[in-house]
Amino acid sequence: MRDYLLTLCVTAAVTYLLTGPVRKFAIATGAMPEIRARDVHREPTPRLGGIAMFFGLCAGLLVADHLQNLSSVFELSNEPRALLSGAALIWLVGVLDDKFELDALIKLGAQMISAGVMVVQGLTILWLPIPGVGTVALTQWQGTLLTVALVVLTINAVNFVDGLDGLAAGMVCIAAAAFFLYAYRMWYGLTIEAAAPATLFAAILMGMCLGYLPHNMHPARIFMGDSGSMLIGLILAASAISITGQVDPDLLEIFEGSTKAATHAALPVFIPLVLPLTIIAIPMADLVLAIVRRTWKGQSPFAADRGHLHHRLLEIGHSHSRAVLIMYFWSALIAFGTLAYSVHSTSMWIVLAVVVLSAVGLVLLLLPRFSPRAPRWAQAVVPPRYRRRAYRLRTEGARAGVQGAGSDTDTDAETASDATAEASSDATSDTDADAGSGSAEERDHEPVPAGVNGATAIGHRSRFSDRSKAGARG
């Protein structure tokens, strides 16, 4: 475990330290595309964060190769080299896309070729465990097609969810943490050496995301771009392929006794074998809904829009940070709930905890639909946003009266002014709310401030009025 933690920390440190220089490089090379209709941020923000993440991957693999307990992974398996080859290819294509905006079909072809490169070097699905049947060996073509499909689906699911500051990196980090715990349990607890590469990949992926997140949290100073989102999606898929297609289920001794008994005994084991699909359940659902939505409208499945799950969270009234935290919550609930069930499938407390937390998540999800107001007796102790308007007016009027006690006329005028300002503020907020509920097309054509600081605040807030000020700060 110490070696894995050391690898994780080195990967995170290299990624964190390189992200700052990479941001300056992206600004210098003009890798800051104009605001698109589907974007949430309102100021041009540099991309190419995937460069720092890729060098973090290289540093993690290099350190692991020189550690005594992890060097055997490179000696007994070719999977780390296969991962690095596929990651380098998809990363190069992502860098070009961040700079020159490549066509979607070109990126899709690059994803398939990257998956093929890993398959050629041995990182492929060899068999599938099926409950009630046992281990089913796959032909070379079946394994190749299934591997390529899993890689492409995972990459695009992560790419689709990369729409808010810190969202994709945080969700993948949660997924990698849950996957690391499961893979480490198979490798160390069940002494299955074939699970060692997947454990290493998950630890490195966590380090990449943790090192990048401080620069990408709201307001983000840099975006990972496709060079980062496709890279972490490929590593997540490679971890799933390694542990699902390379680990022999017979080593788990789950196919003993009758077929029915073996099926029930294998249930908690089969669930984590598809853990990467469950931990990206939300991005995968977003991907499927986007394809159906665009096809239903007669559009291309690759056409961008503002109908993703994170966009809808913003539309119903959640702030940027709250929308990201809600997505984190659901990802962690699905990932760690599945992991806990795989360890103690007979415990009803796990099911009860998941149900209770799901109810809490639904309440948080619907929170903007409610505008709670404290009772009259609690007006003085609750935050101002929960106070009734009449109480706020009365309090501000009394405060104005104390400050202007020397002149009754001034006091009345000041109180009236405060009341007028409050009413004007309420009217303005109502107008803004109505405007916010308008069509996405109308909001997309709002004037965009020209800043380069990397903030991605929603609305009309802008820290700089011109590019010179922004450049001075950056």
Full 3-state SS string of the chain? CHHHHHHHHHHHHHHHHHHHHHHHHHHHHCCCCCCCCCCCCCCCCCCCHHHHHHHHHHHHHHHHHCCCCCHHHHHHCCHHHHHHHHHHHHHHHHHHHHHHCCCHHHHHHHHHHHHHHHHHCCCCCCEEEECCCEEEECCHHHHHHHHHHHHHHHHHHHHHHCCCCCHHHHHHHHHHHHHHHHHHHHHHHCCCHHHHHHHHHHHHHHHHHHHHHHHHCCCCCCCCHHHHHHHHHHHHHHHHHHHHHCCCHHHHCCCCCCHHHHHHHHHHHHHHHCHHHHHCHHHHHHHHHHHHHHHHCCCCCCCCCCCCHHHHHHHCCCCHHHHHHHHHHHHHHHHHHHHHHHHCCCCHHHHHHHHHHHHHHHHHHCHHHCCCCCCHHHCCCCCHHHCCHHHHHHHHHHHHHHHCCCCHHHHHHHHHHHHHHHHHHHHHHHHHHHHHCCCHHHHHCCCCCCCCCCCCCCCCCCCCCCHHHHHHHC
pLDDT > 70 in the chain, percent: 60
Most confidently predicted of 89-98, 216-225, 348-357:
89-98
Taking only the tens place, the pLDDT of each residue in 27-68 is 998 887 666 555 555 677 888 999 999 999 999 999 999 998
Residues 6+ apart with CB under 8 A from 267: 131, 345
Are 199 and 208 within 8 A, CB to CB?
no
Give the confidence band of 6 by pLDDT, cuts at 50, 70, 90: very high
Supply φ then ψ for residue 442, to 5 degrees.
-65, -40
Distance CA 36, CA 58 (A): 32
pLDDT digits (tens, 9 = 90+) for 415-430: 444 444 444 444 444 4
Least confident residue range of 125-134, 256-265, 267-276: 256-265
The strand pairing partners of 128, in sequence order, are 136
Per-residue pLDDT at 91:
96
Task: Answer yes or no: are the C-beta atoms of 211 and 172 closer than 8 Å.
Answer: no
What backbone torsions phi and psi does residue 129 show, to the nearest 5 degrees?
Answer: -85, 125
Which pLDDT belongs to residue 471?
A: 41
- Whole-prediction pTM value? 0.71
Buried/exposed code over 269-284 (b: 16+ C-beta within 10 A; e: otherwise): bbbbbebbbbbbbbbb
CA 29 to chain centre: 27
Measuring CA to CA, which residue among 156, 455, 169, 172 is closest to residue 304? 156
Give Cα 266 distance to the centre of its chain. Answer: 30
What pLDDT score was predicted for residue 275?
62
**CA 455 vs CA 183, 215, 218, 435, 449: distances in Å:** 37, 11, 7, 22, 11
* Confidence band for 258, pLDDT divided at 50, 70 and 90: very low
More confident position, 81 or 282 = 81
Among 109-113, 261-265, 269-273, 375-379, the range with the most confident prediction by mean pLDDT is 109-113
Confidence of residue 431 (pLDDT cuts 50, 70, 90): very low
Residue range 321-373, pLDDT digits in tens? 788 888 888 888 888 888 887 777 667 888 888 889 888 887 877 776 555 56
Q: Work out whether the CA dihedral 98, 95, 331, 154 comes out positive or negative.
A: positive
Whether the bond into 249 is cis, omega within 30 of 0: no
Residue 195: pLDDT band (50, 70, 90) is confident
Q: Which of 61-65, 104-108, 450-454 is predicted least confidently?
A: 450-454
Name which of 142-146, 237-241, 314-318 the model is least confident about.
Answer: 314-318
**Amino acid 368: pLDDT:** 64
* Amino acid occupying residue 446: E
